[in-house]
Chains A and B, each alone.
Chain A
Amino acid sequence: MNFASMTPVAIFTLLNVAMALGLYITALSGQLSMATAAIAGVGGYLAAVLTVKFGWPLLPAVCLAAIAGGLVGATLALITLKMRDFILKLTTLAFGEALSVLAFNWDYIGGANSFTGIGLKTNVWTAAAAALIAFYVAWRFDGSRLGFACRAVRDDPLAASAMGVSIAATRTVSFALGGALVGQAGAIQAHYVLVVSPHDLGFFVSLNFIIFLLFGGLQTLWGPILGAALLTILPEALRFTNEYRLILYGLIIVLVVLRRPEGLLTRMPLGSELKVLGFTLRPARPLADTPADRRLRPLPTPLVQPAKIAAQ
């Protein structure tokens, strides 16, 4: 494996990390958007049109793509503000598919033939810059007042609004910020792939990002990073297994979902203490009555089993 074959993998890994962080910010307010690929596609199409048809340099085009992504995200948040959980996810799905259909039938941006002729303007460092910006924004947002407000809305909207947190404002901000990060990453990706096609906006592409998030774990900032990096590198690293690689990829996803349903990285993974060479890396933690802890230790069972009542 030489360096030349590593470069595309590195670029896609960095861009996927950036998009996964964008989706993480969106998900922080409690709603998982299923239109990530569509927002990335909006950014990609816009930046590509600007650089190809108007001769803009990359940087302003990417900035404008980020703004457009943010606007699309905010619109999506405002549309779905009053909707219930499952319906919201379906609406974001339908929104993404609607954008895909729009791109399919709009001849100015290539229509069904995809938008081609984009100049190669992305290298590893551009992608690294996109990932770093995304990381910085997500990191600062994670610890900010607004970030905590988002988590409060996620955990209990009623209690949060009783404490004076505006659900509409936090949700719109988190969707817009996440959309902006996804938009800029999409714009940079378009200048590496050199083609933006309507199929890139569809549901199955968006699903990849949701898998990144749930695979890595939603509880910390590092979960999406790990998930995106692992799942982008994994199919390439498994390439030596030839035709078995996608089967292994599927199996690994199933195993992780079964063994660690909260994602690979959780905020406090174990109740036991972790020692290496006599140094306590992590002190023991008392177990609580949470789903994660119940798997570690059997909790006292109630005297009468509900299942037995049902059987009688």
Chain B
Amino acid sequence: MELLLQQLANGLVIGSTYAVVAIGFALAFTVLRVINFAHPDIFMVGMFAGLVGAAQWPALGFAIAILAGALGACFVGFALERAVIAPLRGRDVLMTLIGTLGVAICLQNGMALIAGPDPVAYPALLPRQFVDIGPVALTLRQILNFGISLCLLILVSLYVRRTAFGRATRAIAERPDVAAAFGVNVARICRLTILLASSMAGIAAVSVGVLYGSASAFVGLLYGLKAFICMLVAGNRYFEGVMVVGLAIGVIEALVTGYLSSSLRDAAAFFVLIGVLYFRPNGLFGSYAA
């Protein structure tokens, strides 16, 4: 029973990061009809930007790391939108997929060139301290990571549901041409969406870097594939669905690791994907057409 609760808590912590990255995928796909394969590497850039920020101003600690991570990821997202995604608007989904994949290759190998191919130690911004919550023991870093991810998810949900920009975002997701005819500035919302998704990924990346104490140029691959699966399983119509599925896949992975074997951990997400796509090809909560 204690193992179950402990693995549930660990799974929720990992799943919350999956959910944040998956929301970035889903935002880019619904609003721009782009499968943004550079998104996991924007996450990676955010992680390193946070590292640099924390090293520059160690006195300010965690806050400056978060800020630097968000800004670094935002900058890359902005450049990506300007240079690759906007010129390819209206082209086949696969063309932008390959364009963003080229950017992803550049980012990964560029960062491996700057920071070295091996993982780099992350500054210890938080003490390694255990906190007991009932029968479950979590580290302070895990709690912080989960809290930050949860805050981001709640904020993006409020943004999409309650603000004028969010309403415009949903309108574009539904029908870009009709939204434009009703006075929505489609290009601006597209830019804003990429910036939002990127800065979320950057903030989550800093908290993940603090959690594991290391940053690697190839960390994006790990989170990217899982987040992509989360988006496919949930479908991209409801962002809240993507969040729930992200948390669920984290929990499933943790349970598989705890009760079966850790070698089956990566396979678990794919079994979920195949099973869901077989019965509900549009994902659990429905998808927009490509």
- Establish whether residues B270 and A101, one from each chain, have CB atoms under 8 Å apart when the complex forms: yes
- Establish whether residues A215 and B232, one from each chain, have CB atoms under 8 Å apart when the complex forms: no
Q: Which of B87, B267, B281 contacts A91 (CB 8 A)?
A: B281
Measured between beta carbons, the chain A residues less than 8 angstroms from B180 are 306-307, 310
Measured between beta carbons, the chain A residues less than 8 angstroms from B184 are 310
Measured between beta carbons, the chain A residues less than 8 angstroms from B181 are 306, 309-310
Q: How far is the CB of B33 from chain A (nearest CB, A)?
A: 10
Docked complex: B76-128 residues within 8 A CB-CB of A: 83-84, 87-88, 91, 93-95, 98-99, 101-106, 108-110, 112-113
Of the listed stretches B147-155, B167-175, B237-245, B271-279, chain A binds: B271-279
Confirm or deny: A163 has a beta carbon within 8 angstroms of a beta carbon on chain B: no
A254-B273 contact in complex given A310-B183, A311-B183, C-beta closer than 8 Å: no
- Establish whether residues A94 and B277, one from each chain, have CB atoms under 8 Å apart when the complex forms: yes
B101, B182, B287, most chain A CB atoms within 10 A = B101
Measured between beta carbons, the chain A residues less than 8 angstroms from B105 are 246-247, 249-250, 253
- Establish whether residues A32 and B94, one from each chain, have CB atoms under 8 Å apart when the complex forms: yes
- Establish whether residues A261 and B88, one from each chain, have CB atoms under 8 Å apart when the complex forms: yes
- Establish whether residues A247 and B109, one from each chain, have CB atoms under 8 Å apart when the complex forms: yes
Measured between beta carbons, the chain B residues less than 8 angstroms from A32 are 94
Q: How far is the CB of B47 from chain A (nearest CB, A)?
A: 19
Q: How far is the CB of A32 from chain B (nearest CB, A)?
A: 7
Q: How far is the CA of A246 from the CA of B109 in the complex (A)?
A: 6
- Establish whether residues B102 and A90, one from each chain, have CB atoms under 8 Å apart when the complex forms: no
Confirm or deny: A303 has a beta carbon within 8 angstroms of a beta carbon on chain B: no
A247-B273 contact in complex given A112-B263, A261-B88, A309-B181, C-beta closer than 8 Å: no
Q: Which of B95, B101, B267 contacts A207 (CB 8 A)?
A: B101
- Establish whether residues B98 and A257, one from each chain, have CB atoms under 8 Å apart when the complex forms: yes
Docked complex: B219-266 residues within 8 A CB-CB of A: 225, 232, 263-264
Measured between beta carbons, the chain B residues less than 8 angstroms from A210 are 94, 98
Q: How far is the CA of A112 from the CA of B180 in the complex (A)?
A: 52
Confirm or deny: B290 has a beta carbon within 8 angstroms of a beta carbon on chain A: yes
Q: Which of A98, A112, A257, A309 contacts B274 (CB 8 A)?
A: A98
Confirm or deny: A243 has a beta carbon within 8 angstroms of a beta carbon on chain B: yes
Q: Which residue of A lies closest to B105 (CB)?
A: A250
Measured between beta carbons, the chain B residues less than 8 angstroms from A97 are 270, 273-274
A243, A249, A254, most chain B CB atoms within 10 A = A254
Measured between beta carbons, the chain B residues less than 8 angstroms from A236 are none
Q: How far is the CA of A253 from the CA of B101 in the complex (A)?
A: 9
Measured between beta carbons, the chain B residues less than 8 angstroms from A215 are 98
- Establish whether residues A254 and B267, one from each chain, have CB atoms under 8 Å apart when the complex forms: no
Confirm or deny: B6 has a beta carbon within 8 angstroms of a beta carbon on chain A: no
Q: How far is the CA of A243 from the CA of B93 in the complex (A)?
A: 31
Q: Which of A90, A101, A214, A310 contacts B232 (CB 8 A)?
A: A90
Docked complex: B177-223 residues within 8 A CB-CB of A: 180-184
Confirm or deny: B139 has a beta carbon within 8 angstroms of a beta carbon on chain A: no
Q: How far is the CB of B39 from chain A (nearest CB, A)?
A: 15
A257-B109 contact in complex given A94-B270, A97-B273, A98-B274, C-beta closer than 8 Å: no
Q: How far is the CB of B231 from chain A (nearest CB, A)?
A: 10
- Establish whether residues A250 and B109, one from each chain, have CB atoms under 8 Å apart when the complex forms: yes
Confirm or deny: B5 has a beta carbon within 8 angstroms of a beta carbon on chain A: no
Interface of B is mostly: helix
A251-B106 contact in complex given A207-B101, A210-B94, A258-B84, C-beta closer than 8 Å: yes
- Establish whether residues A85 and B84, one from each chain, have CB atoms under 8 Å apart when the complex forms: no
A196-211 CB mask vs B (1 if < 8 Å, else 0) is 0000000100010011
A250-B277 contact in complex given A85-B290, A257-B99, C-beta closer than 8 Å: no
Measured between beta carbons, the chain B residues less than 8 angstroms from A309 are 181
Confirm or deny: A86 has a beta carbon within 8 angstroms of a beta carbon on chain B: yes
Q: How far is the CA of A207 from the CA of B228 in the complex (A)?
A: 15
- Establish whether residues B88 and A247, one from each chain, have CB atoms under 8 Å apart when the complex forms: no
- Establish whether residues A83 and B281, one from each chain, have CB atoms under 8 Å apart when the complex forms: yes
Q: How far is the CB of B247 from chain A (nearest CB, A)?
A: 21
Confirm or deny: A139 has a beta carbon within 8 angstroms of a beta carbon on chain B: no
Q: Which of B99, B113, B225 contacts A258 (CB 8 A)?
A: B99
Confirm or deny: A105 has a beta carbon within 8 angstroms of a beta carbon on chain B: yes
Confirm or deny: B157 has a beta carbon within 8 angstroms of a beta carbon on chain A: no
Q: How far is the CB of B152 from chain A (nearest CB, A)?
A: 26
- Establish whether residues B101 and A211, one from each chain, have CB atoms under 8 Å apart when the complex forms: yes
Measured between beta carbons, the chain A residues less than 8 angstroms from B290 are 85-86
Q: Which residues of A contact B (CB under 8 A)?
A: 32, 83-87, 90-91, 94, 97-98, 100-101, 104-105, 112, 203, 207, 210-211, 214-215, 243-244, 246-247, 249-254, 257-258, 261, 306-307, 309-311
Interface CB pairs A-B, < 8 A, 17: A86-B289, A94-B270, A97-B274, A105-B267, A243-B113, A246-B105, A247-B106, A250-B103, A250-B105, A253-B101, A254-B103, A257-B99, A258-B84, A261-B91, A306-B180, A310-B181, A310-B183
19 more A-B residue pairs beyond the given contacts A87-B281, A250-B104, A257-B102, with a C-beta to C-beta distance below 8 A:
A87-B282, A91-B281, A94-B270, A94-B273, A97-B274, A105-B264, A112-B263, A207-B101, A214-B94, A247-B105, A253-B101, A253-B102, A253-B105, A254-B99, A257-B98, A258-B88, A261-B91, A310-B180, A311-B183
